[in-house]
Each structure stands twice: as C-alpha cells, then as structure tokens.
Amino acid sequence: MTATMRDWAEFDTRDGEGGPVLVVTGPLTVSSIAPLDNRLREIDSLAAIDISQVEDIDTVGAWVIMRAAGALDARIEGASDKARRLIDAVEECASSADITPPRARLLSRVPDAVGERVIDWARGVAGVVDFLGASVIAMGSLIRHPRRFPMTALVRQFELVGVSALGIIGLMSFLIGIVIAQQGAVQLAQFGAEIYTINLTGRLSFRELGVLMTAIMVAGRSGSAFAAQIGTMKLTEEVDAMRVIGVSPMERLILPRILAAVLMMIPLGFFASVLAIIGGAFIANFALDIPFFTFLQRIREVVPLTDVWVGLIKAPVFGLIVGLAGCYQGMQVSGNAEEVGKRTTMAVVQAIFMVIVLDAFFAIFFTEIGWG
C-alpha cells in the first residue's frame, strides 16, 4: 500500500540536548501549517525544531520555521537540501524594519502635502496647456490637408454630444425655469413686484443658468464618456496601434470630440435657455395668473440682446473646457482599469470646476465692458 501525504502538519515534543525538541511531521505548506503556526506562537522556550520527517515544504513553511527558531533562539535540525535552501533564502530576506515608516510630525507633514498638491496642480496646468497646443497643431495640419479631416467621426460626436442630450438637457432646463420663476415670485411678492419675475427668469436663463447648467450636464455626460472611451483604448493599446499604422490619435480621437463639444454647446445652451423660459412661463400661468404667451411676449421686451450674446459667447469656451478635460484625462490613463475610473472622475470634477471659475470671470468681464 502506498502511503498518502497528510493534509496538515503534525507536531510532538521530546526531550533533547539542551531542552525540549519540537518534532514536526507532515507537509509544511501554506495550506497545512496553521495548527503548527498557532502552536509555535504559544511555546515559551525550545531547544530545537526537528523537521527531518517533513514530507514537503514551501516558502511559507520555511518562513514559519525560521521565524519560530529566531524568536525562541532554537536551532533547526534535520533540514533537507530543499528545506535548507528555502530557509536560507527566507532568512536573507528577513528585515527588522517597521512595516510602515514613522509618520512625520504635523507641522512638517501639512506643508509637504500642500507643496505636493501645488506641484501636481502646476504640472496639470502645464500638461493641459501642452495638450491644447498639440490640438491646435493637429487642427492646423488638418486645415492644410482637408482630405484627412475625420468628418464621419465629427458627425458621430455631434450626435452623441448634442442630439442625444437634447432630452435630458431640455427637461432639466424646463424644471430649473419653473424653480426660478416660483421662488423669484415668492420673494418679489413681498414688495408687490411679481411682474418682475419675467425679468428675473429671462435674464438669468439667457445670461447664466442656461449655458452654465448645460456645461455641467455635458461635462457629466460627455466629458466622462470622452475620458472613459479614450482611457479604455489606451489600456487595450488601440492608441499605440493607431500610431504604429500611421494614424494620428489627435486627429482621429481628440479633435472630433473637442470640436463637437465646442460647436454643440452653442445650440444646446440656447436650447436650454429657451426651455427654462418656457418652464417659467408655464408656472407663471398658474401661480401668478400671467398668461403663458404674455410672459413670452414680455421676455422680448425686458431681455436685452446683449444677454443672449453673453450666453452664446460663453458656450463654446465652456465646451472647449469640457472637451479638453475629458480627452486629456483619457490620454493620461495607464496601468490598470482602476485608472480609468480615477481619470474619468477627475475629468468631470476639473471640467465643472473650471467652468464655474470661468463663469465668474465672464461675469466680471462683461460687467466691466458695460454688458452687465
């Protein structure tokens, strides 16, 4: 009959020279060593560990025996050539260093963290500027060689960024218009000036909220898609394959998305502003007894044309920010799938942050030039 290997390590104690000797039998492998490891942690003193009857041993088993021998100041007896090689290899890799390095003091840790954030921010700004420059160069190349222009890809991105977003942007803008008119009417009613709800809704929709909320929605919807799509292509080495066959990723992947975001933000922003005003007229018809078409007619009288131009001027700039953020973060993906999620989140956050910052800048700028 052939003897079968035991599933776990067994141990016994006998008297030996200098004190008790722990005799180990069976396999010393990762799946069978738990009982022996627990027993070794309970022993206070031991003269030697005899592993001459061990049937098999791996790195984990060698580490457990080496650690126990070192902690108990015991010698290892009966080691086979394989066991000795493993024990020696594990012993060479042993270290008494802390598992985690000591933590710096608060007064030095905080400035270090702030400095790292500032440096990362500066590198990010430089990277985006460099990416914008590369996009401009690629656009110049396409202008010189118009037959290479990826018209099919651009039309496809028009559909994804613009046409497919009409429903959600329209609904959002309609509801925002309702909220603006209703809340504005409540506050203006305290002064008997409910009629000025029309002014509030019209100017706020065309000048600020229409294009701003559209940019935020496009950043969350299309900017994240840009980062995820390009990032996944980076992971699967499709971008590298395009370079190998002589196709420029900037011309085929980046420019159609950036141009679609820039150009489609103009009609989307105007569409959102109109839907917001319609939402305001809808609620005013019930809450303020202002007839629907009277509300719309009054909009033409109280909203200056400069407010419409302000929204139309801001729209392509916001689209450029959203497109750049999404494509840039997508091209930075490397390593693993977790990086795709991280870069997608960064694209949305950076785009929304920069859109709000630029909106504040535009508000000050247009006021200074007399378009306030």
Distance CA 53, CA 189 (A): 94
Q: What is the mean pLDDT of residues 290-313?
A: 91
Give the three-state DSSP class for 232: helix
In this predicted structure, the answer to whether residue 334 has a pLDDT above a threshold of 50 is yes
- What pLDDT is stored for residue 287 in this prediction? 83
Distance CA 58, CA 62 (A): 6
The token duo for 90 is 């594990």
The token duo for 158 is 């028009």
Binning pLDDT at 50, 70 and 90, where does residue 2 land?
A: very low
pLDDT in tens, 32-90: 777 777 777 777 778 888 888 888 888 888 888 888 887 788 888 888 888 888 888 88
- φ/ψ (deg, to 5) at 24: -105, 135
Distance CA 150, CA 299 (A): 41
Residue 31: how many CB atoms within 10 A of its CB? 10
- What pLDDT is stored for residue 205 in this prediction? 93
The token duo for 335 is 């390593």
> What percent of the chain stands above pLDDT 90?
55
Q: What is the mean pLDDT of residues 197-224?
A: 93
- What pLDDT is stored for residue 4 in this prediction? 45
Please, what's the largest Cα pairwise distance for the chain? 108
Contact call for residues 158 and 258 (beta carbons, < 8 A):
no
Domains of the chain (ranges plus CATH)?
Answer: 10-93 (3.30.750.24), 132-368 (no CATH)
Q: What is the mean pLDDT of residues 289-311?
A: 91
The token duo for 101 is 């390095």
- What pLDDT is stored for residue 170 in this prediction? 94
Angle at 236 between CA 230 and CA 240, to 5 degrees: 75
pLDDT in tens, 350-359: 999 999 999 9
Residue 23, CB-side half-sphere exposure with 13 Å CA sphere: 7
